[in-house]
Amino acid sequence: MQKRKPPVRMCIGCGAHKDKRELIRVVRNKEGEIRLDPTGKMAGRGAYLCYDVSCLQKCRKTQKLARSFSCQIPDEVYDGLEAQLLKEKEAASVAAE
């Protein structure tokens, strides 16, 4: 059986290139809402992050997310993303077992 190369995306927090399935998509929809998109199918502008709160905190510090979405991101949005990321991480680790 031949190995197929999975699509690779870059985490905007740590800059690591990873299999798309190992990253979580962050999306900014046309209403300007920013949220995590575990399905990877939401419409809007997307960026990718590791399932790791420290990567989210890194891009919070460097404003990388704000830059890739070209908008301001308020603290409460980051707090919401962080909470959602923890939840998704938990769900993903349960699914992996």
26: β partners: 36, 47
CB 4, CB 33: distance < 8 Å: no
Binding of Zn ion by 13 (CB under 5 A): yes
| Single-letter amino acid, residue 27 | V
Alpha-carbon span 40 to 31, nearest angstrom:
18
What's the closest the beta carbon of residue 83 comes to Zn ion, in angstroms? 18
User: Is 36 in a helix, a strand, or coil?
Assistant: strand
Closer Cβ to Zn ion, 11 or 81, answer by number: 11
- Choose the binding region for Zn ion from 1-9, 30-38, 49-57, 73-81 (rule: CB under 5 A): 49-57
Binding of Zn ion by 10 (CB under 5 A): no
- Residues in the site for Zn ion, rule: CB under 5 A? 11, 13-14, 50, 55
